[in-house]
Chains A and B, each alone.
Chain A
Amino acid sequence: MDEEAALIAAICRGSDAAFNRLVDNHQQAVRSFLRGVTPGPEDAEDYAQETFLAVWKHASSFRGGSVRAWLLSIAWRKAIDSHRRWSRSRRRDASYQIDLEDRPAEPGIEAVLALQQALSTLTLDQKAAVMLCLGCGLTHSEAAEVLKMPLGTVKSHVLRGRDRLQAVFGDAP
């Protein structure tokens, strides 16, 4: 059993130390991914916390393989839910607009907003595929496993996403 699987086994037995270690090891990847695919940075933090809570509650559902891919697939499901809720609330209140100046002055917020701006022309699936393959360094197969999509679909999302990014970066000064 590798170290990561041993951590999950320890979490199943209720080990707080193992849980802390898992959070420390993977929080950056999970939060980075969610920052690219959720509507706002606050949502990304919220869903990252929920991802780790889900791990604490359902650690026994881990079926082997890459722990990071498993965590990212949970985060992806949270992101889809978040997107649905966000779309619904936007429809409910069409006049609602997030004023960028009203956002809290979190360190690095400009970088997060720049990333979201760059990804804004992509569909949710394309964002996720691009974030995983180009941002988090996963292979197409790993991304397909995380997103529960066929490999060809992921490749196509990455290709189209890359084209759109090219257009965005091409327009940028």
Chain B
Amino acid sequence: MTDQLESRFAEMVRCAAPTERDPLFRLQVLERRETERFRQRSSLTLAAACLVLVVAAAALALRPAGFGTLSAMILLVGCLAGHRLYGATLMARLRQLRR
């Protein structure tokens, strides 16, 4: 009786189980992983950019004549942040276009 119950339950679990190979599930996991990575990278970059700007603003407050330097620094930080976030995607697109 117990064996019958166990085999009936095992059969039920087997019917409800997903397929042994499920590439769609793997893609969903990878998609979530990439989203997570992007979020982490964005937060880190934003934090770094804020830090640089705070330092630059402090420097400007000490030496008001350095406005040009501050503008250049903001531009540089923007370029670096953009490269860090979108550099890989941009290069991949360029490679695709070259083919």
Q: Which residues of A contact B8 (CB under 8 A)?
A: 169
Q: A28-B17, A31-B18, A31-B25 are in contact. Are A49 and B12 (CB under 8 A)?
A: no
Q: How many residues of B contact A (CB 8 A)?
A: 25
Give a binary string over A19-56; 1 marks a CB under 8 Å from any B CB, 0 the rest.
01001100110011001100000000100111011001
Within 8 Å by CB of A118, from B12, B17, B21, lies: B12
Question: Is A111 in contact with chain B by the CB < 8 A criterion?
Answer: yes
Say which one of B26-34, B45-53, B54-62, B76-84 lies at the interface with A. Answer: B26-34
Main secondary structure of the interface of B (DSSP, over half): helix
Asked whether, in the complex, the Cβ of A49 is within 8 Å of the Cβ of B20, the reply is no
Complex Cα–Cα for A23 and B23 (A): 9
Complex Cα–Cα for A135 and B6 (A): 8
A167 to chain B, nearest CB (A): 10
Q: A134-B6, A134-B10, A135-B9 are in contact. Are A32 and B17 (CB under 8 A)?
A: yes
Asked whether, in the complex, the Cβ of A53 is within 8 Å of the Cβ of B29, the reply is yes
Question: Is B16 in contact with chain A by the CB < 8 A criterion?
Answer: yes
Q: Which residues of A contact B65 (CB under 8 A)?
A: none
Within 8 Å by CB of B26, from A20, A45, A115, A137, lies: A20
Query: What are 7 A-B residue pairs whose CB atoms fall within 8 Å in the complex?
Result: A23-B29, A24-B21, A27-B25, A28-B19, A35-B17, A108-B18, A135-B9
Residue numbers of A with Cβ under 8 A of B are 20, 23-24, 27-28, 31-32, 35-36, 45, 48-50, 52-53, 56, 108, 111-112, 114-115, 118, 130-131, 134-137, 162, 165-166, 169
